[in-house]
Amino acid sequence: MRQFVVVGHDAPTTPEFSLDDLAGGAGRLDVLCRCVSAALFLSHDLREDVRVHLVLDDEFTVVFDGATVRRLNPDERSTAALVRGALDERREAIGHEPVETSPGVSLYRFGFEATLDRLADEGTVVQLHEDGDPVVDRPTPEEPIFVLSDHREFTESEAAFLDEVADERVRLGPRALHANHAITVAHNYLDTDGFERY
Amino acid sequence: MRQFVVVGHDAPTTPEFSLDDLAGGAGRLDVLCRCVSAALFLSHDLREDVRVHLVLDDEFTVVFDGATVRRLNPDERSTAALVRGALDERREAIGHEPVETSPGVSLYRFGFEATLDRLADEGTVVQLHEDGDPVVDRPTPEEPIFVLSDHREFTESEAAFLDEVADERVRLGPRALHANHAITVAHNYLDTDGFERY
C-alpha cells in the first residue's frame, strides 16, 4: 500500500464553491485534484494499492481509495465534483467515524494531525521536501505514507508536527516540483525499484 | 532544450468548445492541458528551456514556449483558455508562418508530420512507448524531442511515420502511464542525470 497525504491550506470546507473557478474561489482545489489523479491513475487502469488523503483547511479529510473508487476521471473538474459531493455530507462525518460519500470516497472530520495519527501505524511516514535526503540514497519503504503540501509551504506548526512523526525526509530530484508532479515521480521510483531490466 | 510533442486525436480545431466540458465535448483537451503543465512548471518557477507542441486533430499545432510564455497557470481550465484563444486566430496562421496568439503561445497550421518535420533537425526524436527500451539503459540525449499520444494510441499511419523519424523508442518504467505523468517522469530522469548527489 502506498499512501499520499496532501495538505490543502486554502481548500474549501463547505460545498459552496464553483467548479468553474477551482484555481481561484475554490482555494486551489485544482492542485489537490491533480494530486488525486497522479496518485491513482495508470494508463487505462487504476492503482488499486493506493490511497490519497486530501486535508481540507485542517478541518476535513477526503480519502480516495484506489481499490474501491468508482466514477473517478483524471480531469480536475470531475474530481472536484467528488470532493464537493463529500462536503455535501459533512454533517454525517461525526467524531472518528467517516462517511462514504461515493464509492471509494470517504470524508473524515479530521485535520492534518488527526489524519497522520490515524495513519502512522500503517507504514513509514515520508516527508517529501526539497531539503530532504536524495531518494536514490534511501532504501524503498514497503508501506510508504508520503506527506506533501499544496502550493503553500507547510505552516510552522505543521512542520514541527511532521518533524516528530516523519520517519524520513526525502527529496526526489534537484528541482522543486509541484505536489502532483512529486507524486508521479515517487510512484516511478517505487515502480522501477528492483527492476534492473523491466 | 527539451521538447514535447503531444498528439491530440480528438482535440478541437475551432474555438467553439466549452471550458466547462474539457474532458467531454472538448475532445479530451484536459489531457493536453495537463501535458503543458507537466512540461513547463516547476514549483514557483517555469522551465524556460522547454517547448510543448500540442497537435490538434492533425490540423493545427499550438506551441507553448517556456522562455517567453506569460499568463500560464497550472490548472487545466486556464491552459484550455489559451488554446481556445489560439484557435480564435486560426485564420492568421497561413502556410508555414505561425501566429503568436498570446505571449509565448503560437499557432501553426501544421499537423503531426509537418510538426515533426519542422523539429527533427533540432534534436533527438524519442518516442515514449510502453514497448520501448528501458530509459535507464540509454544515454541521455542532450536535445530530446519526446513524442507522446493523448488518451488514444497512435494511429497506424502516425506509428509508421514515427518509426521512420524516431531516433529512439524508450519506456520510462514497468507500468504504462498517462501522457502527462510520462512527461513528469522524463523530466525527472533528465533532471537527475549526472547528479550522483543532488
The chain-wide mean pLDDT, for chain A, equals 93
Residue found by looking up cell 481499490 in the block: A67
Residue B135: predicted pLDDT? 82
- Give the pLDDT band (50/70/90) at residue A139: confident
SS3 sequence of A83-152: HHHHHHCHHHCECCECEEEECCEEEECCCHHHHHHHHHHHCEEEEEEEEEEEHHHCCCCCCEEEEEECCC
Q: Which residues of A touch B194 (CB under 8 A)?
A: none
pLDDT: which is higher, B172 or B99: B99
Tally C-beta pairs within 8 A across A and B.
121
Q: Look at residue A194 and tell me whether its pLDDT is greater than 70.
A: no
Q: Look at residue B196 and tell me whether its pLDDT is greater than 70.
A: no
Q: Nearest Cβ partner of A75 from B30, B45, B134?
A: B30
CB contact under 8 A, B76 and A77: yes
CB contact under 8 A, A75 and B76: yes
Residue B73: predicted pLDDT? 96
- Give the pLDDT band (50/70/90) at residue B173: confident
- Give the pLDDT band (50/70/90) at residue B198: very low
- Give the pLDDT band (50/70/90) at residue B130: confident
Residue A140: predicted pLDDT? 79
Determine contact: A20 vs chain B, CB below 8 A. Answer: yes
Across A48-52, B137-141, B156-160, least confident range: B137-141
Q: Nearest Cβ partner of B181 from A30, A44, A184?
A: A184
- Angstroms from A67 CA to nearest CA on chain B: 17
Residue B141: predicted pLDDT? 84
Is the interface score ipTM higher than 0.90?
yes
Query: What does the angle CA A177 – CA A26 – CA A91 come to, to the nearest 5 degrees?
Result: 115
Q: Look at residue A58 and tell me whether its pLDDT is greater than 90.
A: yes
A175: cell is 528541482
CB contact under 8 A, B23 and A188: no
Residue A164: predicted pLDDT? 94
- Angstroms from A101 CA to nearest CA on chain B: 23
pLDDT tens-digit series, residues A151-177? 999 999 999 999 999 999 998 888 999
- Angstroms from A18 CA to nearest CA on chain B: 11
Test mutation, A4, A21, A75, chain B, max B CBs within 10 A: A75
- Give the pLDDT band (50/70/90) at residue A198: very low
Q: Which residues of A touch B79 (CB under 8 A)?
A: none
Identify the bridge partners of residue B46 per DSSP, sorted by sequence position: B41
